[in-house]
A = this chain, B = another copy of it.
């Protein structure tokens, strides 16, 4: 009977950890902003104890920085740090793709093909708006990482780096970019996986992510709204939605 509501974490610290992490990656808690314990405890209707535990867990995930006697602040990613993350992601997703190519079964390849077909429909149907990149791209990468069979790699990429990238995307107010080209590259990657060509699959995935990185960087150069985001006025705005 009570299995119908598994969403609510049984402990308050876990629950507020999820809510805080979501608030951070969605930008409701802007990068660089202070994490005010009394305010958040009132906002979430809990005591400061579980809240502090959740913040400490966020610190372990590197989503906030805590200075003694000064409180926690949401991390703020600058351009250099985004490059660092993309370098790591390029290397690790290349690894994941190589592993996936080496051990992918026929059913796995079929699932990849179906995913690509679904994305193609979405590209054709959504005229111009291109819902594709935001969810579809992640689905594709997630599936390949899952196929790699390396659980820790999956947690690292999809659990930690993913949140950091989401945080950066919300900073740069990114829109989908180069979806058609990305779609072609996805097909190439699946071809390599189907042929069990592990080396080629790794190379193509690394190049695919390098392309995405360059697209992001050139957009950062043309769109100067982000980049030197931290310590600017926009980081000091009050957190919205404080009434609930």
Residues of A within 8 A of B (CB): 9-11, 13-14, 49, 52-54, 56-62, 68-69, 81, 84-85, 87-88, 91-92, 94-95, 99, 150-153, 155-156
Which chain B residue shows the least CB distance to A11?
B68
- Report the minimal beta-carbon distance from A217 to chain B, rounded to whole angstroms: 16
Partner of A95, one of B10, B87, B155: B87
State whether A84 touches B151 (Cβ < 8 A).
Answer: yes
Cα–Cα, bound, A58→B88 (Å): 23
Residues of B within 8 A of A88 (CB): 92, 95, 150, 152-153, 156
Cα–Cα, bound, A6→B53 (Å): 25
- Report the minimal beta-carbon distance from A122 to chain B, rounded to whole angstroms: 32
A sample of 11 cross-chain residue pairs with beta-carbon separation below 8 angstroms, ordered by A number, consists of A10-B69, A56-B57, A57-B57, A84-B151, A84-B152, A87-B150, A87-B153, A88-B92, A88-B95, A91-B94, A91-B95
Cα–Cα, bound, A153→B84 (Å): 7
Cα–Cα, bound, A180→B87 (Å): 32
Cα–Cα, bound, A60→B159 (Å): 11
Main secondary structure of the interface of A (DSSP, over half): helix
- Report the minimal beta-carbon distance from A99 to chain B, rounded to whole angstroms: 7
Residues of B within 8 A of A10 (CB): 68-69
State whether B14 touches A68 (Cβ < 8 A).
Answer: yes
Residues of B within 8 A of A151 (CB): 81, 84
Which chain B residue shows the least CB distance to A90?
B95
Cα–Cα, bound, A152→B59 (Å): 14
A58, A84, A151 interface centre (most CB from chain B within 10 Å): A84
Residues of B within 8 A of A84 (CB): 150-153
Which chain B residue shows the least CB distance to A53?
B56
Cα–Cα, bound, A68→B85 (Å): 32
Which chain B residue shows the least CB distance to A155?
B62
Which chain B residue shows the least CB distance to A93?
B91
Residues of B within 8 A of A87 (CB): 95, 99, 150, 153
Cα–Cα, bound, A81→B92 (Å): 16
A-B pairs with the 5 shortest C-beta distances?
A60-B60, A10-B68, A91-B95, A53-B56, A84-B152
Known contacts A81-B151, A84-B153, A91-B94; 19 additional CB pairs below 8 A are A13-B56, A14-B68, A49-B49, A49-B52, A52-B53, A54-B56, A59-B60, A60-B61, A81-B152, A84-B150, A84-B151, A87-B95, A87-B150, A88-B92, A88-B156, A91-B91, A91-B92, A91-B95, A92-B92
